[in-house]
Structure 1
């Protein structure tokens, strides 16, 4: 169990979380990153910004999201009680809207002419297109062709919301390629564009900024759980791809030694099958990708390895630098769940509790389902249900012949 350590402040002024993070970018881009960092520091000190964001969270997103006690699921499994932080109930159906509103307001504050982003499952794309429509700024989303086919409902929503959708066909045509493509477009004019990174990844200040916007999840959850149960949960679990929903949930609990934090990665078809999983923290090693130092799944020649997950939003060979550091410190345990376990959790939660989760979130549910029977009935697992499964319903129905 974790010993008492204070985890604030992270990162340092160079954007490092221990040895991870930083700004591995060309000199002309460093200036653009520093400008974003300065503007972010300015905007977060402004009362009008904080008030506008708080009002949007309440009246537009629908925060606070509730915590639901999954009583039937808990009873069926035996053992620990499972509770769900319902980020799936947010406007646009996931946690992504939390940081997209912040990034869109930041772009407006900086006078940017276009916001660019990548998306995997399309949740970040839909949330950013929504936020850009709200503040009145053009939006361009890069998405892998494979994910466009898989996540058709989100593609339709992005087009309705008025964003320009760029289909990426190179390589595996999934999330990593979408990041590469979006970054190249951003490099053509970093002074007029803002690259709104969709997770706690990339060069400083993005891992910090996205975490700060997402940390409302954990702050709410900690307060809600304590108010309802007079105690903190024993376990807090969340899925990890890049890691935004997890870091948003974990941040409020980092100094609570009694709370075990668990990040759940995609084991895909098995962590013993290179290229067929995306369990970066479990199977990767320290390296560099997309402007940051972090754990990376690499080929023998040092290039990023092919990755796979049934959940498009977890399909990434890197991971947030703060997660990398928390792994090394032992504060968070990173475990993995296979595609099959994920599908089973997706269907079980749907049929036992009437909640269809995103395939990403179903990884965390699967870990809770695996773990609950090994614990006592007086123990509590709080799962961040980061998104809803509308986008995945047709895809899952096809796989399972429903």
Structure 2
């Protein structure tokens, strides 16, 4: 069988999406021998000759694997120019975390695909539940994690020893966060909790907190609360100044290259994240850390929930979360109890790495994708009334669709949409 995979050949400004894109292609290359790749740029442009070749080919399925742009321009052109081709294809769309930001476009995409055999693939179970609020047919939505390159992210005791020697580490216990340093990732809360537990001697001796990543100014766009460049970094610095005895135990590395990340995963001892980012559909950093054998203490928010495996829940401890008018929250006491319990000291890293690679590696995800593609595709029957409501509101209010104008906090529509992400 021949399939077409559509994505932007130019890397995304979101580096994690670029990695996800590459790993998904590798997974599909394991499933299919004959793949036609089509460039659909960030500006919604494509080569008409590519669409013509698609129409003249024996491609049976078309798979969209990128987060942006939505398939709206591609599908509209294909349907108008080559209706016979459009009507004979089966469609698969991988859904990313930015889905809620572009509801009017997605509604048009779904109108174009009405009646067509269609499959949706989400990266986590909670995202699947989220998408069911907008799609009438729950059976169209499958789950396959975004794959991790296990050749790059793995645990080897030799690599750990080399990495720790390189950084001059001996008996230090390293807590690690990797990813963007941004308001909704709760980096200041992470620092506060670490410093307070350290001052109370509730952490392993000689504990350090490594924070690996660059600062952004994203703020909370849904509330129109963007930050000035450097504003969040100043918040981090102010937080550190509150803990003069512990601040030197927090190491801010800045952004590092992707090829260096496995070094940090191997030299560290426990991964931790307090992210309550609204559209945390998955968590590539968490997946890479676990595949590198790190036990984790993370929030039970959105896609993070899927990292706690049913047969081995102890390897990834989840911190309770909730939603409020001011946004998602996490239980600080629960987090401090889990970090202070030091249960993460008990586990064998080689075993953790092995188990998570069995679930999240490119090979493991290829098997899941193959099963999804073998399943019967049924005709798409449209969207829910809830999606129509959000789309209409977004036409009027843009990205601030979930903001109450009266209180400038989150409105009832937000609670109706995001209740499934808390836990």
With structure 2 as the length reference, what TM-score do the two structures score? Answer: 0.30
TM-score with structure 1 setting the length: 0.31
Q: Which has the larger radius of gyration?
A: 2
